[in-house]
Amino acid sequence: MADSLEMTTLGGGCFWCVEAVYQELQGVQSAVSGYAGGAVENPTYYQVCNGITGHAEVVQITFDPNIIAFEDILYVFWRTHDPTTLNRQGYDVGTQYRSIILYHSEQQRAIAEKSKRDMDASGLWPHAIVTEISPFTTFYKAEDYHQNFYRDNPYQPYCLAIIDPKITKLRKEFRAKLKDAS
């Protein structure tokens, strides 16, 4: 990784959704779906979906902080999933779908905790934010068929029903931060 790039790992429900959102942003070099936050080494999708690993579906994001700040990464995070539902995003239920920020440095921890406090105080969400903020340990890349899922399967029913509205919202609200902004 180039010296100017940073990495963070976020979970906000299904990793297909999180990956699709961050692939749209200027300054994001990569968004890789995977598993983190649990105890089982080299978990499979089947194991994670059955809730036996402790891992969450996450996306590891490599970004250029000279183009997009970590604060902006979190700004998008808070607005593209519901951080007030414990272990759930819509119909996706279980600890693997928890809202989680896995920080890669003490600076990221401090920024994430402040961002969470500010978001809680903002009134954007009617209930308290339950997002877990924990130190990053290990990331396990998900199986190849999970990578670039939305880009490769835009007409799949889940993509049409769940991811398209998130992307539409992102394009309306964050136009200045998008890769294809005009």
Is 1 among the domain residues? no
Residues paired with residue 28 on neighbouring β-strands, in sequence order: 63
Q: What is the CATH number of the domain that holds 23?
A: 3.30.1060.10
Is 122 among the domain residues? yes
Residues 57-69 pLDDT 10s: 999 999 999 999 9
pTM of the model: 0.93
Structural tokens at position 90: 């819509």
3-state helix, strand, coil in the chain (%, to 5): 40, 25, 40
Domain that residue 11 falls in: 6-177
Domain count across the chain? 1
Active-site residue, selected from the candidate residues 14, 17, 49, 159: 14
Is 142 among the domain residues? yes
Structural tokens at position 87: 């272990």
Active site residue 159: no
Residues 82-127 pLDDT 10s: 999 999 998 899 999 999 999 999 999 999 999 999 999 999 999 9
Size of the chain in residues: 182
CB 102 within 8 Å of CB 58: yes
Q: What pLDDT sits at residue 174?
A: 76
Is 182 among the domain residues? no
Q: What pLDDT sits at residue 182?
A: 45
Is 102 among the domain residues? yes
Classified as helix, coil or strand, 102 is strand
Residues 120-167 pLDDT 10s: 999 999 999 999 999 999 999 999 999 999 999 999 999 999 999 999
Is 104 among the domain residues? yes
